[in-house]
Amino acid sequence: MNYSIITPTKNEGQYIEKTIRSVISQEVLPNEWIIMDDDSSDATSQIVRRYQKDYPFIRYVLLTQFRQDLLNTGGRVAAILNHADDLRSSSTDLLARIDADTNFAPDFFRRMIREFEKDPMLGIASGHLVENGVPEKRSDWVNGRGANLMIRHDCFVRIGKFFISKTRGEDTLAFVAVRALGYKSRTFHYYFNHLKPEGIRASKLKNHYVTGFYKGSIPYRLSFFFGTFTRDLLKKPYLLGAMMQLYAYCISRYVLRYKPFPSFVSMQLREEQKLKLKKELGL
């Protein structure tokens, strides 16, 4: 099986060289790697162009004035990634999305490809996130991280590609959508390093607002939302953060009635939430 990579980036000059070195060191190289630069003002372009000379599978695309209606990180990234897929010059079996602030071992993609070859029903998969040398603690191995995922391209097309919205969730909902088609999703113990903390661009309160708005736009089952609300009361900034989520949830669900995601995805996620609630309650 062959694969292509798409990468969104904006002002990742201090990290992207490590990502490039990881990719060019892979035991199995991609057909094509499209790096989408969202109008960076740092040295990103110079770094990428330096490597293009020796590795012609690297394509650099500079975006200017792209989708000014989408300023939120998640929805904007989805639009950029979908545009990158439209720009591919060759067909591909698997499509990898990696962030420009990650790195991984030389056998990473070989091992990921092997999992897809072993199981024809595996639709989407992610590596296991590591930050500051510590692997992420996970109890859920059927979902994954958008910073490093791989999806069968035919599944990608069937789900309608990444979901563009004014909120987040384009990566999380890709896993849900693939399961709605009857395919499997997994996180494997193939580690990748995230070179900077997630959520670094926004304040904690803004992240809580965007999270609540996203949950209301699906919408989360009300019972499931209040389960997450109770959990978030114990996280900084404690009551204030949870109340911000509740406020944003009500705004998107009941005031704006914002529903940007396909109904089959919403139905799948809500059904999975019902099953999780039953499991938690011992039913």
The CATH number given to whatever domain includes residue 44 is: 3.90.550.10
The verdict on residue 84 lying in a domain is yes
The verdict on residue 104 lying in a domain is yes
Q: Where is the domain boundary, 161, 194, 227?
A: 194
| Better-predicted residue by pLDDT, 54 or 231 | 54
Same domain? For 111 and 78 the reply is yes
Q: Which two tokens stand for residue 207?
A: 């992240």
Instruction: Please tell me the pTM assigned to this model.
Output: 0.94
The verdict on residue 199 lying in a domain is no
Domain count, the chain: 2
Using CA of residue 68, residue 61, residue 23, residue 121, what is the dihedral sign? positive
Q: Which amino acid is at 100?
A: A
Same domain? For 82 and 185 the reply is yes
Report the C-alpha gap between 99 and 20 in whole angstroms: 11
Same domain? For 219 and 263 the reply is yes
Q: Where is the domain boundary, 194, 215, 233?
A: 194
| 12 has a pLDDT exceeding 90 | yes
Same domain? For 50 and 140 the reply is yes
| 3 has a pLDDT exceeding 60 | yes
Same domain? For 105 and 218 the reply is no
Same domain? For 172 and 226 the reply is no
Report the C-alpha gap between 246 and 47 in whole angstroms: 43
Report the C-alpha gap between 52 and 188 in whole angstroms: 30
| 261 has a pLDDT exceeding 60 | yes
What average pLDDT score do residues 188-196 get?
Answer: 95
Same domain? For 211 and 169 the reply is no
Q: Which amino acid is at 211?
A: T
31 closest CA partner among 60, 61, 5: 5
Tell me the residue range of the domain where 267 lies.
Answer: 204-280
| 99 has a pLDDT exceeding 90 | yes
Report the C-alpha gap between 99 and 97 in whole angstroms: 7
